[in-house]
A and B are shown apart, each in its own frame.
Chain A
Amino acid sequence: MLCCWMARMMCMNCLISCQFKCTEAGLLGDSGCTKMLFKCWDKISTYGFKLHHHYYQLIGSKRVSKSWWRKLLLSWLIGWTVVSFWIFCYMSSQATEKRKETLASMCDERARMLQDQFNVSMNHIQAMSILISTFHHGKNPSAIDQTTFARYTERTSFERPLTSGVAYAVRVLHSEREQFEKHQGWTIKRMDTLEQNPVHKDDYNPDLWEPSPIQEEYVPVIFAQDIISHVISIDLLSGKEDRENVLRARKSGKGVLTAPFRLLKTNRLGVILTFAVYKRGLPLNATPNERIQATDGYLGGVFDVESLVEKLLQQLSSKQTILVNVLDTTNQSHPISMYGSNASDDGLELVSHLNFGDPFRKYEMRCRFKQKPPWPWLAITTSIGILVIALLVGHIFHATVNRIAKVEDDCHKMMELKKQAEAADVAKSQFLATVSHEIRTPMNGVLGMLHMLMDTDLDVTQLDYVRTAQASGKALVALINEVLDRAKIESGKLELEEVQFDLRAVLDDVLSLFSGKSQDKGVELAVYISDRVPEMLIGDPGRFRQIITNLMGNSIKFTEKGHVHVTVHLVEEVIDMIEVETESSPKNTLSGFPVADRRQSWKGFRSFSQEGSIHPFSDSIRLIVSVEDTGEGIPIEAQSRVFTPFMQVDPSISRTHGGTGIGLSISKCLVNLMKGEIGFVSIPKIGSTFTFTAVFSSSSSSSKSQQINNQANSVCSEFRGMRALVVDPRPVRAKVSRYHIQRLGIHVEVVSNWRQGLSVISQGSNVIHMVLMEQEIWDRDLNSSSLFIDNLEKIDHSTPPKVFLLSNSISSSGVNPSTSGVCNLTVIPKPLRTSMLAASLQRAMGDGNKGNPRNGELPSLSLRNLLLGRKILIVDDNNVNLKVAAGALKKYGADVVSASRGMEAIELLTPPHQFDACFMDIQMPEMDGFEATRRIRDSEQNINNRIHFGESSVETYNNVFNWHVPILAMTADVIQATHEECLRSDSVDMPMASIRSPLLWHALRHFNKLHFFPRVNIFL
């Protein structure tokens, strides 16, 4: 924009200067100017082209544009300087012109006035000549004498403002002279002598004049105004000027003027107007000769030009400003000045022509200003103003261009820095990933060795040391894994799996992980999953588990009393609940402690506001998971940086509770990857509630998994159809209990106290097989509790219901003497888990002959114990490796079968088979380890499904419901991200065996690894 504007200004500038040049060059002729214009146009167009050119280059090459800006700026300044100079010239010339016009008009005005007044006087003198001819020559004797004339003229002098005096001279022929002189009483005098010797005004004496010599005719003055009465008796013909005048006057019959001359006596410059007085009866078109003959006399008026002009000018305004000269220019080469000084110096002079009625004489009036022309301030200020504006604009452009250049430079620098920062970030992530990986590998070795060390014969202290070392090592590996995750997420390398998994099983696992800790602390731990959440989901169970573990770990870490409660719902369900649920009482919680309202934690979730957009029949399942605790809460000021990596509430936290503060940020990232949101609400001293949503897809393949109660689980099928009674005053806790018991296929009724329970048992038509009672009720009133037991036995039933106590901590129930006193009482430790619950129930119900479910505690087996009698398949294409591996495993008592190809392994591992585990080489020709594993898993899945659907009988498959042989990968390449690939190849429990040769401690490491995979452990 700026550039374009500049360009346009530039063109205009150029055009103006061109025009200016043209006006200057105007004198040279039109052709020159046209040429110039043409050139100018040429210039403009080339400029325009250049401008465009430069405009496009502007972004491209900075250097070019910079120099170009400089040029532009310079030409801009020069152009405007020229423009302002031109404006100055133009304006001052305008001023001069105006001044000239003013002068001309003033001058003309004066000239017109003078001329008018002169004409008026002349007319009057002409009228007087008629008077003379009528009353002097027409009457006999004459009616006019000197006195009459003098008085008359005196009284009418106002009519002739320009004349200073009037006189009448009569024509006297020589023949009549004597008679005339006698009549008049004086002799005719001559005046040429006087003209030759002009005398001073004061000592003027008419007697000194000589009588006129003899002439053919005379023109002596007979009448005169008093002012000029001294001219009486003087012969006008004897004066040079007068004579000429007289002769011209009688010839033309009009008023005739003399050249200006010094008047007699007054010695001032004057002009004499002469009119001839003719005899009567002269025709208007008479010839000059006839006129001469008919002449009677001459009437003359003296015009004192100087004083007259003076008087005239005084009547006019602004007489001060101009100087006036009146000149007689009859003789062009020698103009006679009639008025005004000659002190003219400046050039400005204006000439107006005057016409006083005498064609023979020419007059002009010259006017000029008294003062010199003033400085053209307007022009000066205007041009300077324009120049200043142009300079300012130039300065602004300059500053702008500089600024732009600077900003561009800065921007470049920023970009550089940004790149560097990004590169550094990438480098950091890579470094973290590499280093973490490199640390993890030897760490696994250390852990393996420690594990092996524990198998050796150690005394108690040594064992303690080793345990501590192993715990630290595990913590370190866990931390490294977290850092690795974080780095992977940052570099966008983390991809989520899409596998089918059982959400409830995942949560049971997590629960078992924290059960020890919660029991130690006496914190109640509970999981509740809504019935509407499908049994099987498709997603990434590992990552989901990681999020839950993180949140629960935090909650347990910061909770000293009360509970940690995990609830899983569908988002839709929660939205419905919001509408239904009114104010929930603060006491209505799992442990009775007040909690932070979890509804606050999902306030900011977007998915809630755009609920309507989600198609209800779409495949996606949106879960909302809340982890609620009654811990110490997060201080308000720290709440904003909860999800910032490595940010903890305050540094002392890491000392008292450990941890790096990276967990929540990873959780946030993972939740984002699952297209969900995470939020929390926390009230210090009351507790925190973290809530996140995640999107999974429902596994459409197993439609029957929609109904939880119909699940075909070998463990719980035996309880199907049983009825249980839960005695619990707290609805929330009862809900959790009911959820877990219902998963076993048991029908549950809930009552709030044992009295109600008793009535349900005694009156109900259905048999109650078991009663589950909260320890809280039991402890509250021991007497009534035992009464309850007694009553139970009294009720007439085939078998009285078994009574179970739901206890928060094992130790307290152990201490309680009354519990042990009652034989028919089994304590079920919390947190409730389906497998644990089932085991406890089985044991208590006395039909625990069907299998021996583990309670999650892993026996510490030595390697030999682990491998003794196990049937293991080894798959490797390398004979040497195969041999070595087989040798190693055989040494520990394993029954080893070798296979050299993937196909062989698939055949061997197609159910039913007897193998307990499989070691598989990754890199094999024809079919690599991943492919083989995938196929094995497919066939297992296939068979499992057939068993589930009842298409195949379990007996055909060795009574195993769920075929899933643990497969361990063997590879030499540690660095390759094989672990992820292992997981992706649809074999969740295929851990990385990081070294090729499964020799002693390497093998150990594999098995040590297995401890991190509980599901594998169960099957081994």
Chain B
Amino acid sequence: MDLVKLQRQLVDYRDSLYHECFLDEQFTQLQELQDENNPDFVVEVVSLFFEDSERLLNELTKALEQQSIDFKRVDAHVHQLKGSSSSIGAQRVQKSCIAFRNYCEEQNVEGCLTCLQLVRQEYYLVKSKLEALFKLEQQILSAGGSIPI
């Protein structure tokens, strides 16, 4: 009873994430790569993404606080972030990264700062969403159910 409800909740929640463009089909494919040989693949990848992204965001904040900004460095960081976000299918982070890179190319400090803010916001948003998603999955698994596809 509870399990079925939970499973439906998970499906709805996941759909809403796709619907609101937090995630794209890349995430689906990521999930497809997960199998019995590699049961925690998605969580591993995503937590790696969180680690990586937080490090990059810190780096970016530091870099943009400098008196003379090394835009090349900033660009490289944003590129990294963009790459990893596209790898896990965090679409909105990826898109804000694209805008960020454009400002970076123009060497627009104001724009970069705004974008950093935006990226950070998007990142935390997607992070909380994913965490919620994993929590739900965890609940289902602990209840002895299987994750619906």
Enumerate chain A interface residues (CB-CB to B < 8 A).
877-881, 883-884, 887-888, 890-891, 923, 925, 972, 996-997, 999-1000
Q: What's the nearest-Cβ distance from chain B to residue A519, in Å? A: 43
CA distance A891 to B36 in the complex (A): 11
With A997-B26, A1000-B32 as known contacts, state yes or no: A880 contacts B44, CB within 8 Å: no
List B contacts of A888 (CB < 8 A): 33
Enumerate chain B interface residues (CB-CB to A < 8 A).
26, 29-30, 32-33, 35, 37-38, 41, 44-45, 48-49, 51-52, 76, 79-80, 82-84, 86-88
Q: Across the interface, do A884 and B88 meet the contact criterion of CB distance under 8 Å? A: yes
Q: Across the interface, do A878 and B26 meet the contact criterion of CB distance under 8 Å? A: no
Q: Which one of A880, A887, A925, A1000 contacts B83 once the chains associate, using CB atoms below 8 Å?
A: A880
CA distance A884 to B29 in the complex (A): 10
Q: Across the interface, do A879 and B33 meet the contact criterion of CB distance under 8 Å? A: no
- Nearest residue, chain B, Cβ from A881: B87
List B contacts of A877 (CB < 8 A): 80
Q: Across the interface, do B83 and A881 meet the contact criterion of CB distance under 8 Å? A: yes
CA distance A891 to B33 in the complex (A): 7
Q: Across the interface, do A999 and B45 meet the contact criterion of CB distance under 8 Å? A: no
- Nearest residue, chain A, Cβ from B88: A880
Q: Across the interface, do B38 and A878 meet the contact criterion of CB distance under 8 Å? A: no
CA distance A997 to B84 in the complex (A): 9
List B contacts of A923 (CB < 8 A): 79
Besides A879-B51, A879-B84, A999-B29, 12 new A-B residue pairs in contact (Cβ under 8 A), listed by A number? A878-B87, A879-B48, A880-B83, A880-B87, A883-B45, A884-B33, A887-B38, A925-B76, A996-B86, A996-B87, A997-B26, A997-B86
Q: Across the interface, do A883 and B44 meet the contact criterion of CB distance under 8 Å? A: yes
Q: What's the nearest-Cβ distance from chain A to residue B8, in Å? A: 28
Q: What's the nearest-Cβ distance from chain A to residue B110, in Å? A: 26
With A887-B38, A887-B41 as known contacts, state yes or no: A881 contacts B84, CB within 8 Å: yes
Between A and B, 30 residue pairs with Cβ closer than 8 Å are: A877-B80, A878-B80, A878-B83, A878-B87, A879-B52, A879-B84, A880-B49, A880-B84, A880-B88, A881-B83, A883-B44, A883-B48, A884-B33, A884-B45, A884-B87, A887-B30, A887-B33, A887-B41, A890-B38, A891-B33, A923-B79, A972-B83, A972-B86, A996-B83, A996-B87, A997-B86, A999-B26, A999-B30, A999-B33, A1000-B32
CA distance A878 to B79 in the complex (A): 10
List B contacts of A884 (CB < 8 A): 30, 33, 45, 87-88
- Nearest residue, chain A, Cβ from B79: A923
- Nearest residue, chain A, Cβ from B56: A878
CA distance A881 to B82 in the complex (A): 10
CA distance A997 to B37 in the complex (A): 21
Q: Across the interface, do B48 and A880 meet the contact criterion of CB distance under 8 Å? A: yes
CA distance A999 to B30 in the complex (A): 8
List A contacts of B37 (CB < 8 A): 890
CA distance A890 to B32 in the complex (A): 13
Q: What's the nearest-Cβ distance from chain A to residue B86, in Å? A: 6
Q: Which one of A880, A883, A925, A1000 contacts B29 once the chains associate, using CB atoms below 8 Å?
A: A1000
CA distance A888 to B34 in the complex (A): 9
CA distance A390 to B47 in the complex (A): 99
- Nearest residue, chain B, Cβ from A884: B87
Closest 3 CB pairs of A and B: A880-B84, A884-B87, A887-B33
List A contacts of B52 (CB < 8 A): 878-880
CA distance A1000 to B29 in the complex (A): 8
Q: Which one of A878, A890, A1000 contacts B84 once the chains associate, using CB atoms below 8 Å?
A: A878
List B contacts of A996 (CB < 8 A): 83, 86-87
Q: Which one of A925, A997, A1000 contacts B87 once the chains associate, using CB atoms below 8 Å?
A: A997
- Nearest residue, chain A, Cβ from B80: A878
List A contacts of B32 (CB < 8 A): 1000
CA distance A351 to B52 in the complex (A): 134
List B contacts of A878 (CB < 8 A): 52, 80, 83-84, 87
CA distance A877 to B80 in the complex (A): 8
CA distance A884 to B45 in the complex (A): 7
List A contacts of B84 (CB < 8 A): 878-881
List A contacts of B41 (CB < 8 A): 887
Q: What's the nearest-Cβ distance from chain A to residue B31, in Å? A: 11
CA distance A925 to B79 in the complex (A): 11
Most buried by A among B32, B37, B80: B80
Q: Which one of B45, B51, B80, B82 contacts A887 once the chains associate, using CB atoms below 8 Å?
A: B45
- Nearest residue, chain A, Cβ from B37: A890
- Nearest residue, chain B, Cβ from A925: B76
CA distance A878 to B29 in the complex (A): 19
Q: What's the nearest-Cβ distance from chain A to residue B92, in Å? A: 16
- Nearest residue, chain B, Cβ from A923: B79
- Nearest residue, chain A, Cβ from B51: A879
List A contacts of B88 (CB < 8 A): 880, 884
CA distance A881 to B45 in the complex (A): 9
- Nearest residue, chain A, Cβ from B46: A880
List A contacts of B49 (CB < 8 A): 880
Q: What's the nearest-Cβ distance from chain B to residue A188, in Å? A: 151
CA distance A880 to B87 in the complex (A): 7
CA distance A294 to B83 in the complex (A): 165
List B contacts of A1000 (CB < 8 A): 29, 32
- Nearest residue, chain A, Cβ from B34: A887
CA distance A888 to B76 in the complex (A): 25
Q: What's the nearest-Cβ distance from chain B to residue A412, in Å? A: 38
- Nearest residue, chain A, Cβ from B84: A880
CA distance A997 to B44 in the complex (A): 17
- Nearest residue, chain B, Cβ from A888: B33
List B contacts of A880 (CB < 8 A): 45, 48-49, 52, 83-84, 87-88
CA distance A878 to B44 in the complex (A): 14
CA distance A880 to B76 in the complex (A): 15
List B contacts of A999 (CB < 8 A): 26, 29-30, 33
Q: What's the nearest-Cβ distance from chain A to residue B42, in Å? A: 9
List A contacts of B51 (CB < 8 A): 879
CA distance A972 to B81 in the complex (A): 13
- Nearest residue, chain B, Cβ from A878: B83
CA distance A880 to B32 in the complex (A): 16
Q: What's the nearest-Cβ distance from chain A to residue B36, in Å? A: 12
Q: What's the nearest-Cβ distance from chain B to residue A925, in Å? A: 6
CA distance A881 to B87 in the complex (A): 6
Q: Across the interface, do A891 and B35 meet the contact criterion of CB distance under 8 Å? A: yes
Q: What's the nearest-Cβ distance from chain B to residue A61, in Å? A: 42
Q: What's the nearest-Cβ distance from chain B to residue A884, in Å? A: 5
CA distance A766 to B29 in the complex (A): 67
CA distance A878 to B87 in the complex (A): 10
- Nearest residue, chain A, Cβ from B90: A880
List A contacts of B38 (CB < 8 A): 887, 890-891
List A contacts of B35 (CB < 8 A): 891
List A contacts of B82 (CB < 8 A): 972
CA distance A884 to B30 in the complex (A): 7
CA distance A880 to B82 in the complex (A): 11
Q: What's the nearest-Cβ distance from chain A to residue B46, in Å? A: 9
CA distance A890 to B45 in the complex (A): 14
CA distance A925 to B33 in the complex (A): 28
Most buried by A among B44, B52, B86, B87: B87
Most buried by B among A877, A888, A923, A999: A999
- Nearest residue, chain B, Cβ from A891: B33
- Nearest residue, chain A, Cβ from B50: A880
Q: What's the nearest-Cβ distance from chain A to residue B90, in Å? A: 10
Q: What's the nearest-Cβ distance from chain A to residue B87, in Å? A: 5
List A contacts of B86 (CB < 8 A): 972, 996-997
- Nearest residue, chain A, Cβ from B76: A925
CA distance A972 to B37 in the complex (A): 29
CA distance A535 to B30 in the complex (A): 49
List A contacts of B44 (CB < 8 A): 883
CA distance A167 to B48 in the complex (A): 171
CA distance A884 to B38 in the complex (A): 12
CA distance A877 to B76 in the complex (A): 11
CA distance A1011 to B45 in the complex (A): 31
List A contacts of B79 (CB < 8 A): 923
Q: What's the nearest-Cβ distance from chain A to residue B84, in Å? A: 3
List B contacts of A997 (CB < 8 A): 26, 86-87
CA distance A972 to B84 in the complex (A): 12
